[in-house]
């Protein structure tokens, strides 16, 4: 088996042992607390990993786009939530094809989107699961919890071809530093109020789907939550580490990079930039750059161009020369995966397998 | 022919008339001033556009990576500069294959990289063009102009299998706002000093390669410059507009996006986020977000997630509903191209052609 250090760079590698540990930890947590696990595959975009997740107890998967769901359905995943408003002729036609292979649900936050799905499902004799999305603080999609929301939910429940299963929330703002306890209390109040309103309106919430990696291990504290949709936990990344939800040793995904220039004083350039790791910044606080050099106390990619990662070594004891190889933990594992066509799976620094990132770049 | 508005979204479109005008303008400028034009194909990553550039007078093309050069050589481009240190066994083997199809040069800023190429070229009976890189202010790669640089250039000139053609500079810091005249004077002094030093050492500078889109139309003011390597000029983008080097009407590349949510007050969500346009920020000044909505005075993507573009409409007169389609001019056309597998070429809003972005994701 090839040694990791012989791989051409830049390339993406997975420490399989860490991956397996991360998947098991989340699976065990969900079993212990009787929560359904529906991991978001946007993190890895790899059918083989989705299958490992399902085999270790996940009820199904979450995808963002119809095109990602297509790939997962083709790979044999039987229960798929598309956590995104599906709108437009082409996407609805493809949604119907997916519904022939898998049980498929869609999260909606408008009657317009629900109507489109209802009409198409009716024409095709299909029944599509629906989660109505509530905004619990992210202010991205979703209704405020209130009358308008309940009225929309009633209308959607009554649309033919749809099965209103419940509610989707995205509590990704929780446990990103700060007042976790008060945030949780506020969220629990929102959830209680929502159950009351839905009960009064005679709508059953069979599914309340939450999630996100930073808040995942707080999920058992929320009464009424039935499933979670974390994504990043399979790999972890510098953002997850920065939020205090994992250590660097829990980061399974890294970029192998080569030092290609040491000519400008106090700095080295590696061959991994924004085309390799995306330009997503470090979210927990400012000034931590664009990726951590694994195994070095204080070395970060301080700046990036598409093919250049700048590392400030002016205060480092370490010496580097052209050709040295380094491992970088990216800020954001999901957007990093999206830049690559394949990833190498390693055990003890030997290449055990390679996986195609089949759902990379699936934006529609 | 299909109407643009019928395309599934998000997708990338090119206004072919603007593309042709941009290519002609730069070609004419270079002819008028007797400068060689060697456009950087990282902007479009499309062999068909590279061929249009060469047919309209470019001497060849520039690529960042060996894998990009491979695709361009396979497409019949006969003169390629890889403006990046090529290092390592796998890349050197591929470099030799490219050298069978095209005249190929490499920019280097270390003897280590030059030695690797020399050894491999020697083994294969090839002769690879070399530009030594000087740092004229970007502080990324390149030697300071001085004795160390000249000594390295001498050593590289004497290495077998190499043809030291001259010097590469990247004056991308010029004309990004600020004191253009004094920056140009400083750069001219650097160039003069470099010619003097190389002359004294008996090394001829046959090629002095500069460029970058923001500084391109100042190139005739620099005595001694023989070629330029602009990339973005074929498309332009919000950064180029922000630097005052193009208008929005000169932007050929746009993203067609659909409004998928209007539920959160004062905001709409479009289906184009960082997976569609990259998360590259607006460089000329702060606070302009992640893309301009074409045809609307003051609408920008203010925030992005992978699949969500947030547009603040709280101060806008315009009304939007789910299903409305919008055109977005991205901040950075090069990184946007890299997110897509294909692009549609339009004339009068009708789809005239589609091109595969063959060199997308070529990071090695």
Q: What is the mean pLDDT of residues A256-277?
A: 98
- Closest residue by Cα to residue A234 from A36, A104, A34, A45: A45
Inter-chain CB proximity A264 and B139 less than 8 Å: yes
Query: What are the structure tokens assigned to A322, written together?
Result: 């052209």
User: How many residues comprise chain B?
Assistant: 364
Beta-carbon contacts of B123 under 8 Å, excluding residues fewer than 6 positions away, are none
pLDDT in tens, A164-199: 999 999 987 776 655 577 888 999 999 999 999 999
Beta-carbon contacts of B285 under 8 Å, excluding residues fewer than 6 positions away, are B242
* Residue B135 with chain A: CB contacts under 8 Å: 263-264
Cis omega (within 30 of 0) for bond into B10: yes
Packed helices B147-157 and B180-200: angle between N→C axes, nearest 10 degrees = 50
Distance CA A257, CA B87 (A): 12
Distance CA A309, CA B246 (A): 28
User: Dihedrals φ, ψ of A194, to 5°?
Assistant: -65, -45
Distance CA B240, CA B219 (A): 16
Judge whether A198 is closer than 8 Å to chain B, CB to CB: no
Q: Quick one: three-class SS letters along A227-242?
A: EECCCHHHCCCHHHHH
Smallest CA–CA separation between B35 and chain A, in Å? 26
Contact B213, B251 (CB under 8 A): no
Percent of chain A at pLDDT > 70 equals 98
- Residue from the list B65, B263, B306 with its beta carbon closest to the beta carbon of A64: B306
Distance CA B24, CA A265 (A): 40
* Residue A306 with chain B: CB contacts under 8 Å: 42, 64, 334-335, 338
pLDDT in tens, A2-53: 999 999 999 999 999 999 999 999 999 999 999 999 999 999 999 999 999 9
- Residue from the list B84, B279, B308 with its beta carbon closest to the beta carbon of A307: B84
Query: What are the structure tokens assigned to B239, written together?
Result: 């950064």
pTM score, whole prediction: 0.97
Confidence of residue A362 (pLDDT cuts 50, 70, 90): very high
**Max Cα-Cα span within chain A:** 70
Helix (H, G, I), strand (E, B) or coil at B124: coil
Give pLDDT, residue B287: 66
Q: Splitting chain B (364 residues) into consecutive groups of 10 residues, what average pLDDT does each group show?
A: 96 98 97 98 98 97 98 98 98 98 98 98 97 96 97 98 97 66 90 98 97 90 96 97 94 98 97 97 82 94 97 94 98 98 98 98 98
Confidence of residue A65 (pLDDT cuts 50, 70, 90): very high
Judge whether B70 is closer than 8 Å to chain A, CB to CB: no
Inter-chain CB proximity A85 and B260 less than 8 Å: yes
Inter-chain CB proximity B88 and A9 less than 8 Å: yes
Q: What is the CATH number of domain A16-235?
A: 3.20.20.10
Give pLDDT, residue B347: 98
pLDDT in tens, A244-253: 999 999 999 9
Contact A282, A242 (CB under 8 A): yes
Judge whether A340 is closer than 8 Å to chain B, CB to CB: yes
Contact A179, A208 (CB under 8 A): no
Select B4-10+239-356's CATH number: 1.10.1200.10, 3.30.1360.120, 3.90.226.10, 2.40.37.20.
2.40.37.20
Residue A99 pLDDT greater than 70, yes or no: yes
Distance CA B40, CA B80 (A): 10
Contact B263, B256 (CB under 8 A): no
Question: In degrees, to the nearest 5, what angle opens at C-alpha A339 toward C-alphas A337 and A344?
Answer: 55
Give pLDDT, residue B181: 78
Helix (H, G, I), strand (E, B) or coil at A155: helix
CA-based nearest residue in chain B for residue A310: B140
User: How many residues comprise chain A?
Assistant: 364
Contact B82, B273 (CB under 8 A): no
Helix (H, G, I), strand (E, B) or coil at B336: helix
Contact A304, A263 (CB under 8 A): no
Smallest CA–CA separation between A333 and chain B, in Å? 12
Q: What is the CATH number of domain B17-235?
A: 3.20.20.10
Report how many helices (DSSP H) and strands (DSSP E) chain A contains, helices first.
Answer: 10, 17
Smallest CA–CA separation between A84 and chain B, in Å? 9
Give pLDDT, residue A175: 66
- Residue from the list B85, B323, B339 with its beta carbon closest to the beta carbon of A261: B85
Helix (H, G, I), strand (E, B) or coil at B219: helix
Give pLDDT, residue B1: 86
Q: What is the mean pLDDT of residues A58-64?
A: 98
Same fold, A4-10+239-356 and A16-235: no
Give pLDDT, residue B182: 84
ipTM of this complex: 0.96
B residues 31-50 near A, CB within 8 Å? 42
- Residue from the list B278, B339, B363 with its beta carbon closest to the beta carbon of A276: B363
* Residue A363 with chain B: CB contacts under 8 Å: 10, 271-272, 275-276, 307, 339-340
Give pLDDT, residue A306: 98
Contact A146, A188 (CB under 8 A): no
Inter-chain CB proximity A10 and B339 less than 8 Å: no
pLDDT in tens, A300-319: 999 999 999 999 999 999 99
Give pLDDT, residue A179: 55
Burial class (CB in 10 A: 0-12, 13-18, 19+), A303: middle
Smallest CA–CA separation between B180 and chain A, in Å? 23
Q: In chain B, where are the structural domains located?
A: 4-10+239-356, 17-235
Judge whether B172 is closer than 8 Å to chain A, CB to CB: no
| Averaged pLDDT of chain B | 96
Residue A97 pLDDT greater than 70, yes or no: yes
Question: In degrees, to the nearest 5, what angle opens at C-alpha B79 toward C-alphas B73 and B84?
Answer: 85
- Residue from the list A64, A321, A339 with its beta carbon closest to the beta carbon of B307: A64
Confidence of residue A105 (pLDDT cuts 50, 70, 90): very high
B37, B215, B358 from B54: Cα distances, Å:
9, 21, 18
pLDDT in tens, B269-313: 999 999 999 999 888 876 679 999 999 988 999 999 999 999 999
A residues 131-170 near B, CB within 8 Å? 135, 139-143
Smallest CA–CA separation between A232 and chain B, in Å? 13
């Amino acid at each position: 088996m090839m040694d990791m250090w012989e791989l051409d760079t830049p390339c993406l590698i997975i420490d399989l042992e860490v991956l397996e540990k991360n998947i098991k930890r989340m699976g065990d947590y969900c079993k212990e607390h009787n929560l359904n696990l529906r991991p978001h595959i946007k993190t890895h975009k790899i059918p083989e990993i989705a299958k490992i997740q399902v085999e270790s107890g996940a009820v199904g998967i979450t995808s963002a786009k119809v095109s990602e769901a297509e790939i997962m359905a083709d790979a044999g995943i039987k229960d798929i939530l598309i956590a995104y408003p599906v709108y437009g002729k082409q996407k609805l036609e493809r949604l119907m094809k997916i519904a022939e292979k898998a049980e498929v649900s869609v999260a909606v936050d408008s009657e317009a989107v629900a109507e489109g799905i209802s009409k198409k499902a009716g024409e095709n004799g299909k029944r599509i699961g629906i989660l109505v999305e509530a905004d619990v603080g992210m202010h991205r999609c979703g209704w405020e919890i209130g009358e308008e929301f309940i009225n929309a939910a009633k209308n959607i429940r009554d649309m033919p071809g749809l099965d209103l299963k419940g509610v989707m929330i995205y509590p990704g703002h929780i446990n990103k530093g700060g007042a976790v306890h008060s945030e949780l209390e506020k969220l629990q109040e929102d959830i209680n109020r929502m159950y009351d309103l839905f009960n009064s309106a005679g709508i059953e919430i069979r599914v309340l789907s939450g999630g996100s990696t930073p808040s995942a291990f707080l999920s058992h504290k929320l009464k009424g939550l039935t499933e979670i949709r974390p994504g990043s936990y399979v790999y972890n990344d510098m953002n997850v580490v920065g939020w205090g939800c994992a250590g660097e040793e829990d980061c399974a995904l890294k970029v192998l990079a080569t030092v290609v220039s040491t000519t400008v004083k106090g700095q080295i350039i590696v061959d991994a930039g924004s085309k390799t790791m995306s330009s997503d910044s470090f979210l927990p606080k400012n000034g931590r750059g664009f990726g951590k050099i694994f195994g070095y106390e204080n070395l970060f990619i301080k700046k990036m161009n598409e093919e250049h990662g700048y590392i400030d070594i002016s205060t480092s004891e370490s010496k580097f020369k052209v050709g040295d190889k380094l491992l970088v933990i990216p800020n954001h594992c999901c957007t990093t995966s999206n830049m690559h066509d394949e990833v190498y799976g390693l055990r003890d620094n030997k290449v055990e397998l390679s996986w195609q990132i089949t759902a990379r770049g699936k934006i529609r």
